[in-house]
Amino acid sequence: MRILFLSLLDFSTFEENNIYTDLLREFIKNGHDVYCISPGERRTGLKTHLKEDGHLLKLRIGNTQKTNIIEKGISTLMIEGQFVSAIKKYFSDIKFDLVLYSTPPITFASVVRFVKKRDGAKTYLMLKDIFPQNAVDIGLMKKKGIQGLIYKYFRSKEKKLYSLSDRIGCMSQANVDYLLQHNPEISEDRAEVCPNCIEVCDVRLSEKERAAMRQKYGLPQDKKIFVYGGNLGKPQDVPFIVDCLKNCSEQEDSYFVIAGNGTERHILEQYKEKENPTHLKLMGQLQKREYDEMIACCDVGLIFLDHRFSIPNFPSRLLSYMQAGLPVLACTDKQTDVGRVITKGGFGWWCESTDCREFCRMVKMICNKDLSATAENSFEFLQKNFSSAHLYSILERSFYSMEGNGEN
């Protein structure tokens, strides 16, 4: 099978570790011919070129991150045309059997349509982001007024991408249910659970190694350490995180580490500067190796999601915690089923992200527990349910099912 993977993720080799390259390596390992387009922004000085024996096209695009809204808008609108032109130029003599792509973005419709029509390829959308509704939920977009026109534009793009997708893989059952409920034109047999997955590596630490890592990163040896790593933006409701930290400030047996960047990080920085909390360490973005070893010396991974979400997010940072053998405390909205998966799987706890006192009650309860069995459950659940080999089997089965049904 020849596969074309479309992404806005900037990576330089299939050997990198993320949820997409881990999956692509599974296809390669199983004898499939994998091609990929991975862009780089103009500011990097990148020139369009082929790598990995012609299988990885590094495509120069405009600046879409950390730039003004006008440049971002123009660059984003040009991406579809740039991808189509690149396929015509660099992959003109290659007939693809399957096109794989994910959201974000939702603006790949023209690219998918071109390859589907040219090659008769099957198309599979890995739905990681339900946009524009997620932006509406947290107040970044509105359905009425001038902003309503923008919403309608992106909603039409979303609908078009769905219509071009022979199958749509959702991160969890709640995502499948949401997709079908709000897009009744999609038949049930076109949607399935296709979870976030990684190539599982055991990065758990011995007690001696944990102590050494805590010393390295200036973390206390005698407390239960709760760690959050990842984006600090609107979806995480950072003001609520600060309220949680304030309410837990008198719990002497708990300590919090927050590592990452984002548009709302300054709220945490202001809290730390103003109140100088002794139970919090605020870190920046770490290299992957450092991040993995830092979280592995902690005790519990944290997930935060804004209570206003009406769409069921399923954060991929969960996998890093599980790979380190950490139980997970999820503090989220009621729409996502990430909390149900965690509690049913026996590797953590859930509370709603509306009551910081309930969060602190959960923290206190966890501090009084032996976490060894819950930690073991976390790593075992990852191996059985969230490995890239498991995801590969889902996609392979889905492709041959589409072939057998003559879908197109």
d(CA 114, CA 119): 8
Flag the least confident range among 73-77, 109-113, 123-127, 193-197: 73-77
d(CA 355, CA 283): 25
DSSP 136-171: HHTTS--SSHHHHHHHHHHHHHHHHHHHH-SEEEES
**pTM listed for this prediction:** 0.90
Whole-number pLDDT of residue 404? 65
- The pair of structure tokens assigned to 135 is 């932006």
d(CA 155, CA 131): 8
Summarize the confidence of residues 243-266 as an average pLDDT. 92
For 14-115, strand residue ranges (E) read: 33-41, 49-51, 56-61, 98-103
> Which fold is adopted by the domain 207-385?
Rossmann fold (3.40.50)
Flag the least confident range among 73-77, 83-87, 286-290: 73-77
CA dihedral 15, 21, 22, 25 (to 10 degrees): -70
Helix extents (H) in 309-387: 317-323, 338-344, 356-367, 372-385
Whole-number pLDDT of residue 116? 95
For the cut 80, the answer to whether the pLDDT of residue 406 exceeds it is no
> Which fold is adopted by the domain 2-199+387-405?
Rossmann fold (3.40.50)
For the cut 90, the answer to whether the pLDDT of residue 251 exceeds it is no
Domain boundaries, the chain: 2-199+387-405, 207-385
Strands 49-51 and 122-127: unpaired
Nearest residue to 394 (alpha-carbon basis) of 173, 97, 186, 192: 192
Report the alpha-carbon angle 287-288-289, nearest 5.
Answer: 95
- Quick: pLDDT tens for 63-80: 777 667 677 777 777 888
Summarize the confidence of residues 88-102 as an average pLDDT. 95
Total Cβ atoms within 10 A of residue 180: 17
Whole-number pLDDT of residue 69? 66
Whole-angstrom CA distances from 103 to 9, 96, 257 are 11, 20, 30
Whole-number pLDDT of residue 405? 66
Give φ, ψ of 14 to 5 degrees.
-70, -10
pLDDT band at 107 (very low <50, low <70, confident <90, very high): confident
pLDDT band at 285 (very low <50, low <70, confident <90, very high): confident
Summarize the confidence of residues 114-141 as an average pLDDT. 91
d(CA 168, CA 263): 30
pLDDT band at 280 (very low <50, low <70, confident <90, very high): very high
Whole-angstrom CA distances from 40 to 49, 60, 120, 218 are 11, 5, 29, 36
Summarize the confidence of residues 152-174 as an average pLDDT. 93
pLDDT greater at residue 280 or residue 70? 280
Contact 88/37 with Cβ under 8 angstroms?
Answer: no
Strands 122-127 and 2-6: unpaired
pLDDT greater at residue 387 or residue 10? 387
Whole-number pLDDT of residue 284? 86
Give φ, ψ of 389 to 5 degrees.
-65, -40
Q: What percent of the chain has pLDDT over 70?
A: 98
Whole-number pLDDT of residue 162? 94
Summarize the confidence of residues 41-56 as an average pLDDT. 88
For the cut 90, the answer to whether the pLDDT of residue 286 exceeds it is no
Contact 58/12 with Cβ under 8 angstroms?
Answer: yes
Summarize the confidence of residues 227-244 as an average pLDDT. 93
Q: What residues contact 275, with CB distance under 8 A and at least 6 apart?
A: 246
Whole-number pLDDT of residue 407? 59
Fold: same for 2-199+387-405 and 207-385: yes
